[in-house]
Structure 1
Amino acid sequence: MTFTLFPIRLLIAAFMMLLAWPFAFLASVGCSETTVEPQCLWRRLVDIILKIIMRVMWFAGGFHWMTVKGRRALPAEAPILTLAPHSSYFDAIPVTMTMASIVMKAESKDIPLWGTLIKYIRPVFVSRSDQDSRKKTVEEIKRRAHSGGEWPQIMIFPEGTCTNRSCLITFKPGKAFPSMFFLFFNFPLFSLLWNEKISDFCLINQLCPSLQFLPIYTPSEEEKRNPALFAINVRRVMAKALGVPITDYSFEDCQLAMAEGQLRLPVDTCLLEYAKLVRRLGLKPKNTEKVLQEYGNRARKLEGQKLGLDDFAQFLDVPVSDMLRDMFALFDEHEDNCMDIREYVIALSVVCRPARTLETMKLAFKMFEADEDGAITEMELAVILKTALGVTHLSVSRLFTAIDKEDTGKITFDKFRSFLEQHPDFAEDYLYTENTGLHSGPCHRHQIKPSLSIPNLQGTATTKTANGICPDFSPNDHGTIAGLLKKDN
């Protein structure tokens, strides 16, 4: 079919794209980016023509039948369309079916041919070169959402990244929207995970996607005060309609788990739990480099002195809370109510800079090295790497011996850096081979212990799902989540 059906389908799809361009161009001429003119008869006709052209294009791509359930709300009823799950470029289908606006990078409008079609749907443009772009984007969405239906509806993918459709990850909360209308897009034949093999398969075979419009979700007064609770409740309703679990992991967790650093996190790393607590406590610094250096200097002055919970709270300048106790428990290795603050700083560096292994190691060496020779021991290297990977036990004997060729019993950061330059895959060669359970073994040390901040997660599964890092966190108790989120604020 590569030489018969595929070229025909590709030709039809390309022709439909070219055919749509003049209509989109004429309809976009003279349109303002700040105001919306009333939809006159000929513009409405263009809208219908473009929808038909796009439908033929998707038909040529293999999407022969599309099932649409429910009723789409009018822009005046619900200015925001929330779409999930987001997994591939096929999610553009509901955009072309509804002609809703989306949030896109400003550079997209300059793409030949495609840029004209993009401008027609009146997207909210985000400029990467503008430092205030995020704030301006939020303000623009607010302005359109409160226009009383004059602007087209805005379609948002609240997950913030593509997933494998096996669950719904954490929705990014927002405070701008008085009401939301939400839908989901599903492929009943099989779950689509974007890759080259799947894309070839889809262009040859017939797919039967379904698009379901769910009722308008208007936030309660409590949800208006707590956007995170609003996002969780919307996600729960969508997940129930989809028949899939939800997970507490977010876009940031996916970035952390898949970061291409020299110390790639193992499957069962507990730094994902740590990262969630960092976000909930608001401890992720805006000026990362400055704060980490400051923490490193303060930790070095303590010279390994153990801290209790109150001292830990004072170090971070936050009040003692249930979630801070959970954070403290992550580093209370011997359960003697004390921790080494240096481990907290290392973990924070990994969470904030997951791909910059060398900088994390430099910071760690600075905190652990002896004053007289600027070197660390094998035991100290084990603590550093164990914390950086978020695992229970780690043997670093082979690695330490390879670096310490003079057999002095200590290594400096310069020696470590030189070794990394010669062995960029040192973790694979020296850590993962020596620690056979590193990728699959359960993590016991850095686990959140039961406490008041996370009471009775009765829906929590203890097994991993297919993606390896996302266990199902599906609390059945609404009050539990609401209480937890109140603490966040």
Structure 2
Amino acid sequence: MERIDDGYSATQEYPHPFIHKMKLTRAQRIRGFILGSILFPIRVTLAVLFFLIMWPIARLRLAGLSEEERSKPVEGWRRWFYHPIIWLMSRAVFFSLGFYWVKVKGRRANLKEAPVLVVAPHSSFLDMLVLCPAQLATVVSRSENTSLPVIGALLEFNQSVLVSRKDPESRKKAVAQLNERLTSDGYWPQMLMFPEGTTTNGSALIKFKPGAFLAGVPVQPVLLHYPNKLDTVRWTYKGTDWALGVPATDHVMEGGVPVSKVGGLSLPLESPARETLTLLHKNGLGAHEVQAALDRMIDRCRSGAQGAKVSAEELASILGLSHQQTAVHICGLYSKDDSVDLRHIYFSVAPLTGCVDLKTLLHSAFTLFNREGGGSLSERELSDLMEALVGVPQHRIADLYAATSDQNRLTEESLLRVLTAHPTFQKVTKEYLQPEEAAGTLSNRRSVNNNGSVYNNSKKSE
């Protein structure tokens, strides 16, 4: 399979794939309220009824089988009897939710032609409707979903590949299962995957996760249709042309944060530093107060006596905030727990205020993150430094490290040179390490797609 992107003009509007805004007229709101109050209870009741009927039937398919038998594809009467029932009930669920007819274009590749069906764009859980025309192809799901009522039974019925995002060993096991099934030469049923790995608003195609693709294993694209066509992402499969009316991007979701990928770096679409600065201004802190708070932060980091990690309560005191809830919000922008590293706030916010120039900022960061001393950063230290500068974790900085290091030595001068002159990595300094007046808001920045075409994101989709 080959993917081909049509050109996309830099003057055209590029939509944000993770934000969806709607403006309803008064008539639409009234109609939605009236019809919703009548149809919603009916639709939900019917869907729940069909789900309750499916639940015990799905459990019966594997009832009485040993673990060894469950590890093999279900065949015989258990397949030809139970499979059509669950398929019809699944279609009935979607029919009750308003999906009366499904129009299918093209021909579904058989198991020998394509062991994998990749579906995009992934916009909601209702995209599972595609399982009906795909004859309930096997899926990959989070292992946590098996504990959910009905859903767990359906995943068991489907003999899904289960993976826990919290357990690295579970991921390895899932990859091994996928390899076994996709290279079984038709022994296992066809699989269906959403390679984006998360849901978007359907206005753009974000970067695919590599897990949906194995070397030498053919896949067939299944493109979901949406009415807001902006451009065409085209695919070819065995001479058949597939087209979807949305642009392709380098955006991806990492750790629950939407980012774009540039040279291996993860750059947040919504800068936590800019949101932090906005929150401080809303709480009455002017430029002078913000600068004073940043000075207190860097002094605390340099002292080393108390450490750079602080609680929300301590952060509120350092920032001079009267409401601790704002400090809690700021902690949440940079960390998943109730504490935050002051270095991350300082080095991402300070350049936006214009109170420190880039050379001085990098010197301070280099000093604080160079744990071993000696004037050279390790790859791990560079990863921590870049996380502080852009506000999100950096897991793959090998390209940046290779570009900045000389014989495994990464000096302050070489890092400054690469971040200001390298055609790829200077994006960081231009968009994240410049005063707001010079850089503009991130919603106005330009995004680059997988093929290097440029999108002008001057407005957000509404």
Of 154, 160, 181, the residue aligned with 1:144 is 181
Cα deviation code 1:26-56 (max 9, x no counterpart):
1121344763255214522321121111111
1:259, 1:354 within 8 Å by CA — same for their partners in 2?
no
Superposed counterparts of 1:53-132, under 5 Å:
53-98=89-134, 99-128=136-165, 130-132=167-169
Match of 1:135 among 172, 175, 180: 172
Instruction: Say how many residue pairs are matched.
Output: 293
Cα distance per residue 1:53-85 (max 9 Å; x no partner): 111111111111100122222323322111111
TM-score (norm 2): 0.52
- Rounded to whole Å, the distance in 2 between the matches of 1:133 and 1:155 is 20
Q: 1:50 to 1:144 in 2, by over 3 A?
A: same
Q: 1:387 to 1:50 in 2, by over 3 A?
A: closer
Whole-angstrom CA distance in 2 between matches of 1:72 and 1:390 = 44
Match in the other structure for 1:460: 453
Contact 1:182 1:213 in 2 (8 A): no
What is the aligned-residue identity percentage? 31
| 2:224 counterpart residue number | 186
Counterpart residue type for residue 251 of structure 1 = M
Cα distance in 1 for residues equivalent to 2:99 and 2:193? 23
Other-structure match for 1:244: 246
Give distance in 2, aligned partners of 1:262 and 1:41. Answer: 60
Pair 248,353 (structure 1): closer, same or farther in 2 beyond 3 Å: closer
Q: For residues 125 and 8 of structure 1, what CA distance do their matches in structure 2 show?
A: 33
Deviations 1:73-123 (A, max 9, x none): 232332211111111111111124431121112121122222111211111
- The answer on 1:393 being equivalent to 2:431 is no
Quote the Cα distance in structure 1 between the aligned partners of 2:117 and 2:178: 12
Q: 1:254 aligns with which of 258, 270, 274?
A: 258
Code of the aligned partner of 2:50: M
Match of 1:21 among 45, 55, 62: 55
In structure 2, what residue type is equivalent to 1:23? I
For 1:28, the aligned partner's letter is L
For residues 272-316 of structure 1, the C-alpha deviation after alignment (integer angstroms, 9 at most, x for no partner) is xxxxxxxxxxxxxxxxxxxx99992169754xxxxxxxxxxx966
For structure 1, the residue ranges without an aligned partner over 5 or more in a row are 192-211, 218-236, 267-291, 303-313, 318-340, 356-366, 369-385, 395-431, 449-453, 469-489
**Residue 467 of structure 1: how far off its partner (Å):** 4.9
Distance (Å, rounded) in 2 between the aligned partners of 1:264 and 1:299: 33
Residues 46 and 97 from structure 1, CA distance in 2 versus in 1: closer, same or farther, beyond 3 angstroms? farther
Q: Deviations over 1:312-361 (max 9, x none)?
A: xx9668xxxxxxxxxxxxxxxxxxxxxxx99x964344558459xxxxxx
Change (3 A) 1:158 1:216: farther
Change in CA separation of 1:133 and 1:350 when aligned onto 2, cut-off 3 Å: farther
Letter in structure 1 aligned against 2:101? W
Which residue identity lines up with residue 154 of structure 1 in the other structure? Answer: M
Q: Give the match's secondary structure for 1:250.
A: strand
Unaligned runs of 5+ in 2: 1-34, 260-266, 278-364, 395-410, 413-426
- SS of equivalent to 2:162: strand
CA distance, structure 2, for counterparts of residue 160 and residue 184 of structure 1 = 15
State the partner residue of 2:349. Answer: none
Superposition RMSD in Å: 4.5
Contact 1:104 1:123 in 2 (8 A): yes
Distance 1:5 1:130, change over 3 A: closer
In structure 1, the residue corresponding to 2:210 is in which secondary structure? coil
Could you tell me whether the CA contact under 8 Å between 1:182 and 1:214 is conserved in 2? no
Change (3 A) 1:87 1:37: closer
Identify the residue that residue 386 of structure 2 maps to in structure 1. Answer: 347
Give TM-score, length-normalised by structure 1: 0.50
Q: How big is the shift at 1:127? A: 2.7
Larger strand percent: 2
Residue 155 of structure 1 corresponds to 192
The CA deviation string for residues 237-283 of structure 1, in whole angstroms up to 9 with x for no partner, is 98x611322123333482452578455499xxxxxxxxxxxxxxxxx
What one-letter code is carried by the residue in structure 2 that aligns with 1:153?
Q
